[in-house]
Structure 1
Amino acid sequence: MTTGLQTSYWPADQSSPIWDMTVGDVLRRAAVLAGEREALVEVAPDGAPSLTAAASTDRRWTYRQLLDEAEACAHWLLARFAPGEHVCIWAPNVPEWIVVQYGAALAGLVVVTANPALKEAELRHVLKQSRASGLIHVDQFRGYDMAQTARRMDDVVRERISLTGFMDRLKIVEPVRDLPPVAPDAPVQIQFTSGTTGLPKGALLHHRGMVTNAAFLVDRSGHLNEIWVSPLPLFHTAGSGLCVLGCATRLSTLVLPCLFEPRLMLSAIERERATVVGGVPTMLVALLEALPEGRSDLSSLRV
């Protein structure tokens, strides 16, 4: 007679080291190792107006430029918030989202992510549950007057900041003090569940966990200097975590469509010579179904 198992245990895989650094450290490292490499490429439909009133919708940043603007953003935020406070980003996939994500991390702030489709009561719940001190938002998206809804949150948050013209404001920022020290185990984001079994619940994430998770994912799927096209929403960990930070850990370029539209995606893949494309199965099926509509050169894709 054999004895039953007494312990259920899977030993930790230690083949790759933990990335014991902050989100800001990751961007600083990329700027040192590959400062002139493109970090971020904006993609929007032809003729579509900028969601942030930027001069164009095809902007590009090197890692050096992205770090410079993230540091300016950090100083701008510190003039309004104290390290440790929570600020909510309520916006679709605009480059300003990533600048604020890095800027908040460098400032020691915690980013609360919010789906731009949230209605007033849903947004209010996220802000109150997360104890957000600020709300950063676009004014309009897909016919939704987000600015009007944001104004109704003045009784919940201390600061309300529109992303309209945001990058122009950063150009005149004067550093008022040194950026604060931030520890890898400090909180960096609050991500909310979808709320399918009740009200959405916020999960508190720390720098070390987000960075390591992203690095381990790209170790499985990519190499150095990839070109990623990803429409995954930045308010989700797949977008702001795995894609944004994953690209930075491996000195890769993130090509960011402002929304998922198959022809826009296929055009971006072909034009940027993408090597990696991200998406959930329904997105990938939509891309395959759109292929017969025209010729697309996807020969650069590897994953």
Structure 2
Amino acid sequence: MSALSYAHGTSATTLLGDTIGANLDRAVAAWPDREALVDVPSGRRWTYAQFSADVDELAYALLATGIARGDRVGIWAVNCPEWVLVQYATARVGAVMVNINPAYRTHEVEYVLQQAGISLLFASLSHKTSDYRAMVEQVRGRCPQLRETVYIGDPSWDALIGRGTPDLYEELWIRKSELSCDDPINIQYTSGTTGFPKGATLSHHNILNNGYFVGESIAYSEQDRICIPVPFYHCFGMVMGNLAATSHGACMVIPAPSFDPAATLRAVQDERCTSLYGVPTMFIAELNLPGFATYDLSSLRTGIMAGSPCP
């Protein structure tokens, strides 16, 4: 049997060998009472202990729904706490989370549902002019592997959560013990500018180390609070944002469901964020806001500007 091998550049810091779930457990054990996630629009907040409990609650629900290791679970949603819960709960049960761009049109969603073999889809109710429920109903007859769609902010979300019960603790523990950091855990799609979108399959090892070393490069610690206005469906949001945060005990701050320059600056000010992410056009929009100088941004010490796409 062949064995996997790893190589990386000169560094005193070794690669992480954790699964995403195990790495989250380390953060929870170290910083249970520190804030892990803040959703500014709804005012909801989670400490690491509370966040882990809600991740487990969703993981129980996934097990109760019959999600097996390696099953494809789609997430087609704007930035919201439920997006983050799905990210970590699918990792806990070994399902492969498939990121779907909120800006996709019906034919693109149909392609991804079919091509990735998604069996369970989590979706927002709407985004801008898109009615997600109507769009899913339009294509689901041509997507035979799609068994169920759960809408965030809809009774179907509560119904799903209600299926999971703590008596599934042992089953979840067994499932987690069977997982390897080399297991596929995420599929991300290209923009498809030269044809249909193309999916790249990534492992715990791939994306956890990506997030961890990004956090190391800008010296994250449990004291940091990261304002994340970039989309979660892209690696900028879910990896450089979320995984960089949880691998260091930092806090993820969601300023708005999609980019809003004023909401972003208010979140930095009110939540005393130490780090801010964005693409150049986002930073330009913030700098050009009337009254920009009135925002107290003195808490910022770092951040990332990158060329990632933003819907």
SS at match of 1:241: helix
Identity of aligned residues (%): 34
Question: Is it true that 1:185 corresponds to 2:196 in the alignment?
Answer: no
Aligned equivalent of 1:199, options 177, 184, 196: 196
Task: For 1:35 and 1:168, locate their aligned partners in 2 and report how far apart those are by CA, in whole Å.
Answer: 28
Aligned equivalent of 1:233, options 226, 231, 234: 231
Normalising by the residue count of structure 2, what TM-score does the alignment of the two structures yield? Answer: 0.86
Q: Classify 1:268/1:168 alpha carbon distance in 2 versus 1 (closer, same or farther; 3 Å).
A: farther
Conserved 8 A contact 2:61-2:162: no
Query: How many equivalent pairs are there?
Result: 282
What is residue 86 of structure 2 aligned with on the other side? 100
AA at the equivalent of 1:27: L
Task: For 2:275 and 2:158, locate their aligned partners in 1 and report how far apart those are by CA, in whole Å.
Answer: 28
Question: Is it true that 1:270 corresponds to 2:269 in the alignment?
Answer: yes
Aligned equivalent of 1:41, options 38, 42, 59: 38
1:89-124 CA-partner distances (Å, limit 9, x unpaired): 000001001111111110110000001111110001
Of 285-294 and 214-223, deviating more is 285-294
Q: How does 1:113-192 map to 2 (within 5 A)?
A: 113-155=99-141, 156=143, 157-163=146-152, 164-165=154-155, 166=157, 170=161, 173-174=164-165, 175-176=167-168, 177-179=170-172, 180=175, 181-192=178-189
Conserved 8 A contact 1:139-1:147: yes
Unaligned runs of 5+ in 2: 1-6, 303-311
Conserved 8 A contact 2:63-2:164: no
After TM superposition, which residue ranges in structure 1, 4 or more long, deviate above 6 angstroms? none
Unaligned runs of 5+ in 1: 1-9, 45-56
Q: Classify 1:172/1:82 alpha carbon distance in 2 versus 1 (closer, same or farther; 3 Å).
A: closer
Task: For 2:158 and 2:230, locate their aligned partners in 1 and report how far apart those are by CA, in whole Å.
Answer: 23
Conserved 8 A contact 2:55-2:89: yes
Aligned equivalent of 1:68, options 53, 58, 73: 53
1:130-165 CA-partner distances (Å, limit 9, x unpaired): 111121111122232111111233231122222224
SS at match of 2:186: strand
SS at match of 1:290: coil
Task: For 2:26 and 2:158, locate their aligned partners in 1 and report how far apart those are by CA, in whole Å.
Answer: 23
Question: Is it true that 1:213 corresponds to 2:203 in the alignment?
Answer: no
AA at the equivalent of 1:289: N
* Greater fraction of residues in helix: 2
Task: For 1:109 and 1:214, locate their aligned partners in 2 and report how far apart those are by CA, in whole Å.
Answer: 19
Task: For 2:119 and 2:160, locate their aligned partners in 1 and report how far apart those are by CA, in whole Å.
Answer: 20
Rg larger in 1 or in 2?
A: 1
Of 132-141 and 107-116, deviating more is 132-141
Normalising by the residue count of structure 1, what TM-score does the alignment of the two structures yield? Answer: 0.89
Task: For 2:158 and 2:91, locate their aligned partners in 1 and report how far apart those are by CA, in whole Å.
Answer: 17
RMSD over aligned Cα, in angstroms?
A: 1.7
